[in-house]
Amino acid sequence: MDTVYLNGKFVSRDNAWISPDDRGFLFGDSVYEVVRWYGGFFFDMKGHMARLRRSLSETRIIWNEIESFPEVAHELITRNSLDDGCSLVYLQVTRGSAPRTHAFPEPQVPPTVYASARRQSLDTLVWERGISIEPVTDPRWNRCDIKSTALLPNILAYQEAHDHGFAEVCFIRDGFVTEGAHSNIFFVRNETLYTHPATNRILSGITRNNIISLAADNGVALVEEAVSADMISYMHEAFLTNTSGEVVPVIKIGDLVIGDGAPGEITKKMQRLFREKVEAWGEELLARG
């Protein structure tokens, strides 16, 4: 049984229990974060910490020990013997446990903090082959910029696409592509990258933000502009980004083949640049000790 972290303690997973009065359970009143361990270091922990801080602040969930997270994450890696290879660390912070009522608990109660780690390799096969995604109406609320666990809309949309044989959804809101159920979406047309701006309609991913920086640093044109659903057929390439998959080529959206149905050149370039950044990140951290 693996070791997880719950409210200040490292315990065996079968000794970790949540109260049914927990607001994470009753209301989806909680936020989360997922960081990737690359056999020796976490990539862009600073970016994840900044987003976590923002999710907490926007939901008014108070976790005073937030600065402990990098250490907790590292400890989970060590205690579960995951030091080598690739893993994901999941963190969830809820507004705590209190008798059920919509209003925030008064007086305030301590948040519930849960974290766990599991091995998850990078799927290099999908990097080479690409995936198909299904366009669906974006059913979500108007604060998709908060990384909350109230994810039922994402779950139902994702499962339906999965049932239809697709690997992810392509959410369309008011005629424009927003993002996936757990990824950001980029398009390429005439060697320019397009992705939805970081508004309330998307969760601006850490990988997304790194791709934007990499484009700027490497002379790749990029516009943070939503692509209209009608324009998808004019796009030459498409890819998804997220922490678990890095940069994943999209070769089909619904019935529509993107480009020539294989990962495109700019996509492969961004994949390579991101891989190099991760490796350089690790070398630098390891050099620093």
Please give the residue ranges that form the binding site for a copy of itself (CB under 8 A).
4, 6, 13, 16-30, 59-60, 90, 92, 99-100, 102-104, 114, 116, 118, 137, 139-143, 146, 148-156, 158-159, 162, 181-182
Distance CA 219, CA 216 (A): 6
Query: Strand pairing partners for 172?
Result: 137, 177
User: How many residues are given for the chain?
Assistant: 289
Q: What angle do CA 147, 142, 36 make, to 5 degrees?
A: 20
By C-beta, is 153 or 282 nearer to a copy of itself?
153
> Largest alpha-carbon pair distance within the chain?
60
By C-beta, is 207 or 267 nearer to a copy of itself?
207
Phi/psi at 40 (5° precision): 140, -20
Q: Which residues are catalytic?
A: 147
Which amino acid belongs to residue 138?
D
Sign of the torsion formed by the C-alpha atoms of 126, 127, 128 and 132: positive
By C-beta, is 38 or 104 nearer to a copy of itself?
104
Distance CA 31, CA 29 (A): 7
By C-beta, is 17 or 125 nearer to a copy of itself?
17
Query: Strand pairing partners for 240?
Result: 185, 248
